[in-house]
Amino acid sequence: MRIEPGSTQPSRRRGTQSPAGDPAMLFQRALSCSHNGVVISEVCDGHETIIFVNPAFLNMTGYQSAEVIGKSCAFLQGPLTDQEEIAYIRASLAKGEGCETTLLNYRKDGETFWNHLTITPVPDADGVIRHFVGVQSNVSDIHARDEMIRDIICRQEVIFTLTPDGFATFDEGGYLSYANPAFERMTGCMIGDLYGISVAELEHKINALLRPTTNQLDISNWQGQEQKLAVLEMLIPRQRFIKPYVLNGGSASAAIVLHLRDVTHEHEVDRMKSEFLTTAAHELRTPMASIMGFAELLKLQEFPQDMVQDMLDTIHRQSQRLTSLLNELLDLARIEARRGVDFKCVPVSLVNLINNTIQACPREDYPARIILNDLPDIQVFGDWNKLQQAVMNVIVNALKYSPSGGSIHIRSWIEGDICSIEVKDQGIGMSPAHLERVFERFFRADASGNIPGTGLGMCLVKEIIELHRGSVRVSSALGEGTVVCLTLPVCKLSSVPG
């Protein structure tokens, strides 16, 4: 059998007849029916040229036979073809060796396709390699699928690396096969030390980090269904609350998935809500008890006029306290819910704001005197009523917590684009422990009850000032007084709505 140059078909010698079972005919039909592209090249004087291609190759590349025969396969290459792979092919052919690779090739119309290529050397009777057979297949769909899988794996790896939740997987034998960095941070166990340990060993490691008297991790008896376990209180490497989940991974390498979620913030929010409700109920019940008690006494019997007047004064005072508490609760809830969207912000004169606030303060009820230092003639941009409420709360606190009198100094200054308003008193002051809780709801530095108040004032100040893009700083020493400093951005012409 020989191959006619310029043909896609192997041919018989002229003047001969081939029976139906002739190997040459079978070879011809096999190459014609093959779905893989077949190329036979000849090496002559160090140059390789194509002497045969089958129909599948032409269909794959879009070329005609006459455009291919006599050329090198380099015509399939383009700017994105991997040159390292081309060098590998050339080196293999130069040594008379076969090779296998996948290349990005180009069709006649310029469209790219991924070509899986296997090249086999064909020695002649003398053992000299004069021909190479290349079998090619279009694996673009497979390559695209592999790229998609690699992309999915890469994205999943990024997600599991960056997620704050801890994940650990166990294989079908119950041995740890994977743990992400967050799992390491939560447990304090190095990932390298975790691989290959059993479920029971990991349970033991984690339970050693928990508060002994609380829930313990138990996944050894897991039944294969998704399950939420009891919250764990972890003490090491630091105190936190962890919510564990056990899931079915559905694969041999991830038969069991342990998911740890840090719910410390949610636990703290729930605790604060419970404390808030308990304290609010107590604060509301105290004045209500006085109001109801004295009202019942007045209904049940007659009292001297002076005693009746005292009872009515108490009812009135407790009603005012109750109204004040409810108003501050409603203000706080409204501010937190609306986040300042209903603030009516305008340029506000700092001098007018502080002077009007001082005039509105009930100074006659307290022995301390207010000393107002020179104020800069500037404007801040904000809601007049809310800013006055914040400054009023600070000044009234200074008056209330200065039962022995003394001076309350109010001053203001500008640094760059920031205006600071400072209120300094000579009152009872606060301990470091009290100072840490100054913005907590219902917290009061005076626990005796002799100083009236709801414990919501500084919480409101913080909310209002921060919604005006400012800040609140408090410094204090027990028996030496307190300094509260409010900062607000200075009003610029460009920031004022036109």
Residue 283 CA to residue 55 CA, distance in Å, equals 91
By mean pLDDT, which of 266-275, 370-379, 474-483 is the weakest? 266-275
Residue 358 CA to residue 196 CA, distance in Å, equals 71
pLDDT of residue 205: 87
CA 231 to chain centre: 22
Share of the chain above pLDDT 70, in %: 86
pLDDT of residue 188: 84
Q: Mind listing the pLDDT tens digit for each residue in 16-32? A: 554 556 776 777 777 77
Q: Mind listing the pLDDT tens digit for each residue in 395-434? A: 888 888 887 878 889 999 988 888 999 999 888 888 888 8
The answer, as to whether pTM is greater than 0.85, is: no
| Phi/psi of residue 378, nearest 5 degrees | -130, 175
Q: Which residues pair with 330 in a beta bridge?
A: none
Residue 478 has pLDDT above 60, yes or no: yes
pLDDT of residue 407: 86
Contact criterion met (CB below 8 Å) for 51 and 134: no
pLDDT of residue 445: 64
How far is residue 109 from each of residues 62, 63, 228, measured CA to CA in Å?
7, 9, 58
pLDDT of residue 494: 40
Label residue 10 by pLDDT band (50, 70, 90). very low
What would the mean pLDDT of 266-278 be, rounded to a whole number?
73
pLDDT of residue 448: 53
User: Mean pLDDT for the chain?
Assistant: 82
Share of the chain above pLDDT 90, in %: 19
